[in-house]
Structure 1
């Protein structure tokens, strides 16, 4: 159905544009049909690309300590900036708590803290996001943004 609507819109557009440039009606019809047949699949592919991008898009923003502590449901938007900036690497547990707060869960055997940082983004909001912080010698060794499908 979408392809038909795009084809009709394309046909009308090319008929309007080519009317100004091609005076011979039979030549104009041929060019209108060729242009319609070429641009309709391109327009359909563009619409599908935008649709897929909208479904898979995960919003992101710069890390802000104040916003992080206020925005519990969408901290995942700031997680990648937090990781890329290496703000957490090398910090001890007290410094980490001061920066991003108390963890949701602690795995003492694996020396790992897990922060649930919201749900949303990518896949129409059906992802759960966690921040996995691994320690070595009571210092942050690594930080990973984990995305879990619902």
Structure 2
């Protein structure tokens, strides 16, 4: 018995394989956030930053607890004492990409927002 795929099945198979390959690449290059890795792997924080933002792990935490988890910020916003900036390293890229930073925005001494900023 010979297996023959028609055009619709072939296209479906290609999309399925593309999805599987892209998901495996995403999981290969993304890491789960841990305090130990964040503090020790300064240049590869970009691998953990998506997990940190999406989990909303820091939302509502006081500044002192953020310092314990992430360490001291690399800088503060010039316009506000309530915005801390953390370097996340440079992800590998074929093109020159803009530098990204993790921003922690506080309101009333507690984290209100965690986001990425571009230089």
TM-score (ref. length: structure 2)? 0.68
Q: Is the 8 A contact 1:131 1:144 kept in 2?
A: yes
1:1-150 matches, within 5 Å, as 59-107=29-77, 109-110=79-80, 111-124=82-95, 126-148=97-119
Q: Partner of 1:98: helix, strand, or coil?
A: helix
1:68 shift after superposition:
0.9
Q: Is the 8 A contact 1:114 1:133 kept in 2?
A: yes
1:61 shift after superposition:
1.1
Q: Is the 8 A contact 1:119 1:125 kept in 2?
A: no
Distance 2:117 2:87 in 1: 10
1:128 shift after superposition:
2.0
> Who wins on radius of gyration, i.e. which is larger?
1
Count, aligned residues? 99
The higher-RCO structure (CA 8 Å, 6+ apart) is 2
Q: Cα distance 1:66–1:128, how it changes in 2: closer, same or farther (>3 A)?
A: same
The structure that is helix-richer by fraction is 1
Q: Cα distance 1:142–1:123, how it changes in 2: closer, same or farther (>3 A)?
A: farther
Distance 2:118 2:92 in 1: 10
1:23 paired residue number: none
- What is the RMSD of the two structures over their aligned residues, measured on CA atoms? 3.0
1:86 shift after superposition:
1.0
TM-score (ref. length: structure 1)? 0.55
1:109 shift after superposition:
3.6
Q: Is the 8 A contact 1:92 1:138 kept in 2?
A: yes
